[in-house]
Amino acid sequence: MKKLVIIMMLLAFVGVNVAIAADSVTYENKKGTVTFDHKTHGETLGDCAKCHEGEPAKIEVDKKSAHGDTCKSCHKEMNGPTKCNDCHKK
Ligand code: HEC
Ligand code: HEC
Ligand code: HEC
C-alpha cells in the first residue's frame, strides 16, 4: 500500500514536470517571429522521443537546425508547414 502511494506521488510529480515544460517558445528574428507550440506538438505527436533523446531537456534551435532536422525535416515527412511564412510571422 505504501509503495502504491509513493508510485502515485511520483506519477503526479512527472505530470507536473510535463505541464511546466515551456508551453510555447518564440524565436524572434528579422524574417519574422516563429512560434513553436511545444505543448501542441507534444500532444499531436504523442511522444516526447520524437524530438528528445533520453530525458527531455533544452534543445538548441538556430537557423540551420530549424530549417533542417530540428523542425522542417519532420514537417516535410508529416505534412507540417514548410513555407517560409507558415513559420515566420511578421
Ligand atoms: C516537436 C518536437 C518536440 C516534442 C514532441 C517535444 N519537445 Fe520538448 N522541446 C523541443 C524543443 C525544440 C525545445 C527547445 C525549445 C527552446 O528553444 O527553448 C524543447 C524543450 C524542452 C524542455 C526544456 C525546457 C526549457 O525551458 O529549457 C523540456 C523539459 C522538454 N522540452 C520536455 C518535453 C516533454 C516532456 C515532451 C513530451 C510531452 C516534449 N518535450 C516534447 C521540442 C519538442
Ligand atoms: C517530429 C515532427 C515535428 C517536429 C520535429 C516539429 N514539428 Fe512543427 N509540426 C509538426 C506537425 C505534424 C504539424 C502539423 C500539426 C497539425 O496540423 O495539426 C506541425 C505544425 C507546426 C506549426 C503550425 C502549427 C500552427 O500553430 O499553425 C508550426 C508553426 C510549427 N510546427 C513549428 C515548428 C518548429 C519551429 C519546430 C522546431 C523547433 C517544429 N515545428 C518541429 C511536426 C513537427
Ligand atoms: C519549420 C519552420 C520554418 C520554416 C518553414 C522556415 N523557417 Fe526560417 N527559421 C525558423 C526558426 C525556428 C529559425 C531560428 C530563429 C532563431 O534562431 O531564433 C529560423 C531562422 C531564419 C532566419 C534567420 C534570421 C536571423 O535573424 O538570423 C532566416 C533569415 C530565415 N529563417 C528565413 C527563412 C526563409 C527564407 C524560409 C523559407 C525558404 C524559412 N526561413 C522557412 C523556422 C522556419
65-84 residue pLDDT tens: 999 999 999 999 999 999 99
pLDDT digits 0-9 by tens, 4-61: 555 555 555 555 445 446 799 999 999 999 999 999 999 999 999 999 999 999 999 9
Residue 34's identity, in one-letter code, is V
Distance of CA 79 to the CA centre of its chain: 17
> What pLDDT, on a 0 to 100 scale, did the predictor assign at position 22?
78
Site of grid cell 533544452: 58
Handedness of CA 29, 63, 42, 21 (dihedral sign): negative
Q: How many Cβ atoms from other residues are within 10 Å of residue 23's Cβ?
A: 11
Asked if 47 and 56 touch (Cβ cutoff 8 Å), the reply is no
Protein residues with CB under 6 Å of any ligand 3 atom: 27, 29-31, 34, 61-63, 66-67, 71-72, 75, 81-82, 84, 86-88
Per-residue pLDDT, 80: 97
Ligand 1 binding pocket (C-beta < 6 A) is: 18, 21-22, 25, 38, 41-42, 45, 48, 50-52, 56-59, 61, 70
Four-residue CA torsion sign, 23, 74, 59, 14: positive
Ligand 3 nearest-atom number relative to CA 71: 1
